[in-house]
């Protein structure tokens, strides 16, 4: 009798679930909800709702970026940054020409994540071993491999200038991030700027911050690409002796050239002329001095998906444009990305992309597109690398608390995405199910949204 009751309860629940039981309570009246869960063994859709409707994806956009990059470049791909020179080196050690830093689009150069923050010291030693004691010209940052449009035109003003929306250039370094240390006083006072690290020549901060009785800051940097002027608005907690906020390095290629010039001078290698940047390829003949290789793309992709690293994602996407053109542009990269999946048989009718990180609120993607891409990736030679790049729900990365304590904890590889009134997840359940759940414009707490998504995933595969 008990067995029949359990079966009856399961049937009743399945029927109720199929009618859309999740996301029915208060807080979802104004929300747009879309999801799809696919059994990849049978090819059948287990459950769906608005699966073909394009919704704002936030950071689950990075799934598309990383999957495409692995497919087009391969997991062993490495970015290259080259030291080159023109002219000749005399027997006395004088370089009668310029030293060039040829940017290769590496987001991890000097990165505190998976790069070497001391790479400039290595470069100085290499230059010294070449016998160069004086550079009669300049240290030149060659950023010509990418165009000068460092930001997606669809990013919002509130984000541009902040560390999580740092510019994307052929020569970037140190995560293109600066740290500003503040000291705050009582309610309504203006926090004082104690230091800026690293120090940036010509950098100007106009401070409009105020101190408030809040626990975390709501401070934002505002500023145009390549401009050394930044404005600080928002609030920081009161009575903090030391409080750090982070912004972008406005002109990363120039900053790298300046820093290398300084390091050379400190080591006794004189540089006669001031450093500068070129954004167009010059016709002069150069000789290769050294090639700096990044870590493998497999590690970079894992950093993107585990930490939801916007900076890395944008560089990786833009680099893909070099499959088609000599100078990388965002538009070409997105075109190639869409064309690749179209050629794999996936419709891109519900795919509207304007960046590689998901930072743009103009991005719109359907849950079904994610499910089809995730399913297609299981047939890829790069699948294991892609799968392992996704954090484990309840254990790691940005999803360490998602599904924690549930029956699916530790069994789900998933990327999360969120900003404003957006909460999304996409990934795999035990390598059998591919899923995407996207919720936009909810009025309840984010905690409630996550709980509903957890409920949906658990019962969609267990019913």
Of residues 308, 3, 340, the one with CA closest to residue 165: 308
Query: 22-75+298-462 adopts what CATH topology?
Result: Beta-lactamase (3.40.710)
Residue with tokens 């290398």: 260
How far is it, in rounded angstroms, from Cα 310 to Cα 329?
Answer: 17
Q: Are 169 and 151 in contact (CB under 8 A)?
A: no
Of residues 374, 371, 437, 375, the one with CA closest to residue 403: 437
How far is it, in rounded angstroms, from Cα 348 to Cα 59?
Answer: 18
- Angle CA(18)–CA(21)–CA(26) in degrees, nearest 5? 155
| Residues facing residue 427 across a β-bridge | 414, 435
- pLDDT recorded at residue 21: 75
Q: Which two tokens stand for residue 20?
A: 């859309």
How far is it, in rounded angstroms, from Cα 198 to Cα 179?
Answer: 7
Maximal CA-CA distance, the chain: 97
- pLDDT recorded at residue 174: 98
| Residues facing residue 245 across a β-bridge | 180
- pLDDT recorded at residue 463: 55
In the chain, list all ranges with CATH 3.40.710.10: 22-75+298-462
Q: What is the pTM of this model?
A: 0.94
User: Cis before residue 198, ω within 30 degrees of 0?
Assistant: yes
How far is it, in rounded angstroms, from Cα 186 to Cα 183?
Answer: 11
pLDDT tens profile 265-281: 999 999 999 999 999 98
- pLDDT recorded at residue 462: 65
* Domain 80-147+252-293 -> CATH class: alpha beta
Q: Are 177 and 248 in contact (CB under 8 A)?
A: yes
- Angle CA(289)–CA(134)–CA(262) in degrees, nearest 5? 85
Low-confidence ranges of the chain (pLDDT < 50): 1-19
- pLDDT recorded at residue 9: 38
Please state, as a whole number, how many other Cβ atoms lie within 10 Å of the Cβ of residue 462: 10
In the chain, list all ranges with CATH 3.50.80.20: 80-147+252-293
How far is it, in rounded angstroms, from Cα 397 to Cα 413?
Answer: 11
Which string of b and e fits 12-49 if b means at least 16 CB within 10 Å?
eeeeebeeeebbeeeebeebbbbbbbbbbeeeeeebbb
Q: Which two tokens stand for residue 8?
A: 């009856």
């Amino acid at each position: 009798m008990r067995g029949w009751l359990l079966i009856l309860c399961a049937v009743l629940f399945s029927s109720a679930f199929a009618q859309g039981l999740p996301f029915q309570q208060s807080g979802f009246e104004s929300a747009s909800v879309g999801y799809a869960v696919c059994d990849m063994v049978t090819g059948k859709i287990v459950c769906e709702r608005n699966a073909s409707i394009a919704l704002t994806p936030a950071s689950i956009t990075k799934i598309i970026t990383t999957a495409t990059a692995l497919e087009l470049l391969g997991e062993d791909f490495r970015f290259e940054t080259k030291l080159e020179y023109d002219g000749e080196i005399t027997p006395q050690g004088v370089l009668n020409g310029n030293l060039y830093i040829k940017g290769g689009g590496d987001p991890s150069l000097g990165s505190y994540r998976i790069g070497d923050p001391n790479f400039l010291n290595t470069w100085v030693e290499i230059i010294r071993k070449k016998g160069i004691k004086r550079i009669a010209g300049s240290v030149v940052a060659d950023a010509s491999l990418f165009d000068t449009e460092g930001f997606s035109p669809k990013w919002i003003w509130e984000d541009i200038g902040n560390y999580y929306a740092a510019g994307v250039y052929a020569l970037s370094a140190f995560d293109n991030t600066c740290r500003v240390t503040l000291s705050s006083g009582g309610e309504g006072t203006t926090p004082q700027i104690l230091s800026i690290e690293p120090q940036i020549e010509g950098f100007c901060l106009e401070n409009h911050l105020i101190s408030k009785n809040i626990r975390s800051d709501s401070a934002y940097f505002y500023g145009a690409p390549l401009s050394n002027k930044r404005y600080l608005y928002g609030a920081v907690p009161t009575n903090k002796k030391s409080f750090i906020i982070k912004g972008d390095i406005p002109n990363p290629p120039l900053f790298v050239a300046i820093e290398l010039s300084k390091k050379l001078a400190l080591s006794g290698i004189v540089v006669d002329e001031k450093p500068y940047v070129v954004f167009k390829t010059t016709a002069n003949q150069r000789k290769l001095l050294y090639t700096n290789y990044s870590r493998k793309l497999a590690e970079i992709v894992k950093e993107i998906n585990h930490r939801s690293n916007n900076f890395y994602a944008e560089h990786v996407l833009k680099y893909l444009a070099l499959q088609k053109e000599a100078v990388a542009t965002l538009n070409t990269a997105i075109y190639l990305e869409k064309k690749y999946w179209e050629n794999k048989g996936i419709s891109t009718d519900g795919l509207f992309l304007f960046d590689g990180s998901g930072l743009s609120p103009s991005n719109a993607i359907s849950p079904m597109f994610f499910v089809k891409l995730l399913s297609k990736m299981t047939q890829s030679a790069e699948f294991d690398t892609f799968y392992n790049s996704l954090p484990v729900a309840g254990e790691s990365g940005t999803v360490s608390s998602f599904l924690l304590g549930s029956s699916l904890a530790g069994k789900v590889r998933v990327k999360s995405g969120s900003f404003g009134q957006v909460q999304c997840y996409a990934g795999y359940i035990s390598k059998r199910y591919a899923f995407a759940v996207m919720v936009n414009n909810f009025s309840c707490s984010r905690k409630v949204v996550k709980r509903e998504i957890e409920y949906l995933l658990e019962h969609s595969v267990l019913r």
